[in-house]
Amino acid sequence: MTIGAARILRQRKWPLSGQQIKTLREDAGLTATKLARLVCMTPEHLSRVENERTGSSFALDKLIRAVLAISLGMSDALVHDVLSRLPSGELLEDN
């Protein structure tokens, strides 16, 4: 995993941009279809998120960050750090 990927995943700003998701997904060696399945969404919806034609909910953003962090080989401590940096009060709210 690159330092840049860790820095993007650990940022407090959310949601990740579509380009950030796509770059991290490719760095993790995941196809769009595979990432979509891992986060329980259709590949078409992921494509809309990556191309910024639709927004991402807080819950989806957090799930995508977790899956990408694990796929990029981050340690459990770093995955926890990524997720703990995000506000938790909005976990179930959609944008």
Rounded CA separation 27/95 (Å): 27
pLDDT given for residue 22 in this prediction: 95
Residue 9 confidence class, pLDDT cut points 50, 70, 90: confident
Rounded CA separation 11/5 (Å): 10
Average pLDDT over residues 44-70: 92
Average pLDDT over residues 47-70: 91
Residue 88 confidence class, pLDDT cut points 50, 70, 90: low
| Residues 6 or more apart in contact with residue 11 via CB below 8 angstroms | 85
**Predicted structure pTM score:** 0.79
pLDDT given for residue 91 in this prediction: 42
Residue 14 clears pLDDT 80, i.e. is over it:
no
